[in-house]
Chains A and B, each alone.
Chain A
Amino acid sequence: MVNLKSLPSPEEPAEALAAVVALRLLADKLEHSAVSSAIEQGWSWSQIAEALGVSKQAAHKRLASVHSKADS
């Protein structure tokens, strides 16, 4: 678990914001890989949406490119 005290200080916004950008990219990539694997394992969009905590429509709209990649 990340110790919150070890995070960049808000008084150093450049470092803190750079960390936010990197975390977002890491999360996006993890999401794409996990959804791609889930589709390959036969998960439905309803199951993926439930696991991600979003609606089925939102999951499909945001991750349709993963779907087409898994199909190809």
Chain B
Amino acid sequence: MFKTIRQRFRDMGTIKALCFEAEKLGNADGQKEPGAEHFVLSALALPDGTARKAFLRVHADPDSFRAAIAKQYEDALQNVGIALPRGAEISGEATPIPTSKGPYKTQPSAQALMQTLTREIMKKEQKADSTAPLLSAHVLLAATSAQYSVAARAFRAMGIDPEKLAKAANAEIVAYRACL
């Protein structure tokens, strides 16, 4: 019982860090509210390292995900005949927005990711083991459940099969828990 409560407090800390970093990344990207892709970037920076290891398991460089977000925007614009000047990026450009002082808000894609994460993935995990920790690989699992989001298109831009990434994320979750 005590272990379960202690773990829930730790998970709250993980969610706080995840949301705070996602907002920072979204704002730095010139967007008022973070999207699911910023939550994936934020997950890749979480200290448990399972999301990064899941990327490596499918032979993808986790540090390339930010560039992949920009690439999928460029590809989408090219489809309508707009080519950005060489070196220019629609994503990651230096047009930062100050962090909001009001209530925490996210884009709908991030709301969907958080709902999948908390209401489906973690609910199932904690039903099997009430002391199961929330890991960055769980965030990846939630992100791979979307087919048409910016995050999903960025995975495809990196040549990542979302199903294989989900399997890799699950494998990393099992490996992490085996070490506890």
Contact = CB atoms under 8 A, between A and B. Distances in A.
Interface in B78-136: 79-82, 90-91, 93, 95-98
A23 B76 CA distance: 8
A18 B76 contact: yes
Contact of A32 (B30, B77, B150, B153): B30
Given A28-B30, A65-B32, A33 B95 contact: yes
A25 B97 CA distance: 14
Interface residues of B toward A: which range?
A: 20 to 34
B9 interface: no
Main secondary structure of the interface of A (DSSP, over half): helix
A17 B90 contact: no
Contact of A18 (B30, B32, B79, B81): B79
Given A22-B73, A25-B91, A69-B98, A7 B30 contact: no
A8 B32 CA distance: 28
27 contacts: A2-B80, A2-B81, A6-B81, A7-B79, A7-B81, A8-B80, A15-B79, A17-B148, A18-B72, A18-B75, A18-B76, A18-B148, A18-B153, A19-B77, A22-B77, A23-B80, A25-B73, A26-B73, A26-B82, A26-B90, A28-B31, A29-B30, A29-B90, A29-B95, A33-B95, A65-B32, A65-B97
Interface of B: 30-32, 72-73, 75-77, 79-82, 90-91, 93, 95-98, 148, 150, 153
